[in-house]
Amino acid sequence: MEDFESLLASSAQAHGHLCPGQVIGVRMAMLGCALVGLDNPRSLPQLKKLIVYVEMDRCAADAVAHVTGVKLGRRSLKFMDYGIMAATFVNLETGRAFRVLSTEESRDLAALYAPEVVGKSAQQLEAYRRMPDEVLFRVQEVRVAIDPLDLPGPTRRKTACIRCGQIVRDGKEVHTPEGPLCVPCARGAYFTCVREVSVNEALKTGPSKILSSTAHRA
Ligand SMILES: [Zn+2]
Ligand SMILES: [Zn+2]
């Protein structure tokens, strides 16, 4: 694995800026990988041995993904929407897993570790570079029971929703007495469908016009 400073530099570039979250995320990932015994997770064969669960969609999550090389599209990155500054590193080969949590104390201690730095964000950034792992993180050895349907590899199952016909992959359908449903049909979704439009109509009319014409009718 590259050293901390070069990982931080490339992570900040990929993320878009250098921030305290990049420092925490890079260090979290380096520690997590060391704990599960993977020193080169971005290349084969280790690339196929690591799954990471991130528990926040904040700056640090990008750094964790960057350093470890895990990706949503490879199913090696799992997002758990907990709002907790933590990530769990699972070695699929050994089955060992460690959850690394960023401590709240580290925020309070930033002034102690970088007293000469002015500005909260700059002070945190520098302090998080200097803090020992034991101050910056808590670590739990954990067990993660990964459903075989959630593992990397080809799609294992496809099911059609009996209400809308949509194909649902990898066992994500909801089983009901009537039959399998997609999640939007079974539980509602993050969106409400205004109406179905053809791609050509949508491109010609433009999104604002489609919305306003619909708003007019409503
Ligand atoms: Zn950031
Ligand atoms: Zn459906």
pLDDT digits (tens, 9 = 90+) for 132-184: 999 999 999 999 999 999 999 999 999 999 999 999 999 999 999 999 999 99
pLDDT at 202 over 90: no
Q: What is the pLDDT of residue 79?
A: 98
Q: Is the pLDDT score of 5 beyond 80?
A: yes
Q: How far does residue 161's CA lie from ligand 2's centre (Å)? A: 5
Alpha carbon separation from 171 to 155, 163, 168, 189, 191 (Å, rounded): 9, 17, 7, 18, 22
Q: Which ligand is nearest to the CA of 22?
A: 1
What is the number of the ligand closest to the CA of 188?
2
Q: What is the pTM of this model?
A: 0.90
Give me ligand 2 centre to Cα 22, in Å. Answer: 39
Band the pLDDT of 217: cuts 50, 70, 90: very low
The predicted pLDDT at position 112 comes to: 97
- The DSSP string of 136-154 is HEEEEEE-----GGGSSSS
How far, in Å, is the centroid of ligand 2 from the Cα of 55? Answer: 28
Ligand nearest to the CA of 66: 1
Proximal ligand: closest to the CA of 24: 1
Question: Does pLDDT of 122 surpass 60?
Answer: yes
153 token code pair: 């590899």
**Ligand 2 center from residue 178 Cα (angstroms):** 12
What's the pLDDT tens digit per position in 6-49?
Answer: 999 999 999 999 999 999 999 999 999 999 999 999 999 989 99
Report in angstroms the alpha-carbon separations of 132 from 64, 124, 197: 18, 14, 56
H-only helix segments in the chain: 4-15, 20-35, 59-68, 105-108, 110-113, 120-130, 133-136, 183-187, 199-205, 207-217
CATH 3.30.1330.130 residue window(s) in the chain: 4-150
Instruction: Fold for 4-150, please state it.
Output: 60s Ribosomal Protein L30; Chain: A; (3.30.1330)
Distance from residue 25's CA to the centre of ligand 1 (Å)? 10
For residue 218, pLDDT beyond 80: no
Residue-wise pLDDT tens digits, 57-112: 999 999 999 999 999 999 999 999 999 999 999 999 999 999 999 999 999 999 99
Ligand with an atom nearest the CA of residue 161 = 2
Ligand 2 centroid from CA 172, angstroms: 11
Cβ contacts of residue 205 below 8 Å, gap of 6+? 213
